[in-house]
Amino acid sequence: MPPQGARGLFRRITAFYARCLDVLLVVTVISIILPVTMQIFARFVDFIPRYIWTEELSRFLLVWMIMIGSMIGVREATHFNVDLFYNLRGRAKAAMDILSALFVLGFAYVFIVYGWEFTDTAWYRISELAELPLWTIHIAWPIAGVTWVIFAGERMWDDVQVLLHGERADS
């Protein structure tokens, strides 16, 4: 397959992955409503039992919601990206975006390496209250790191093309 075709396939795959992340984010936001609502109402009325598992489930969902949101934010350059020089255009903006992406890659490295070690400690453990496997929450860190590498790499490719060919780069 020629490079353009491979790059186009990669773009379609990452776009599909981003759409799946969008759906998962919506699902986690909707899913967290029930356990949090149960917690709130159980505190104020006597006829709803005070389930302890709702707190743990809402914590699991919150972690995944944050991680998925950060993955989407890296793809859209709205996370870990500060517009200090908002008036930059062209090659100067591309150079600053590459610098920002290098920091994202540094964070991604930490999340992948130490996140995997974190996950490795949880393969055979379960949570005490909801009895959920702990690896299902711990694995969010290395998955986020790998996703950041993919999405930051995609953006860096575009920025390198702008640096090499100017504003009208085919990206």
Look at residue 167 in the predicted model and tell me its pLDDT. 73
pTM for the whole thing? Answer: 0.85
The count of residues in the chain is: 171
Look at residue 107 in the predicted model and tell me its pLDDT. 95
Look at residue 169 in the predicted model and tell me its pLDDT. 46
Distance CA 130, CA 59 (A): 11
Look at residue 43 in the predicted model and tell me its pLDDT. 84
Contact 147, 117 (CB under 8 A): no
One digit per residue, pLDDT tens: the chain, 171 residues? 445 777 889 999 999 999 999 999 999 999 999 989 988 888 888 877 777 788 888 999 999 999 999 999 999 988 766 666 678 888 888 888 898 899 999 999 999 999 999 999 999 999 887 788 999 999 999 999 999 999 999 999 999 999 998 875 444
Give me the phi and psi of 163, to 5 degrees please.
-60, -40
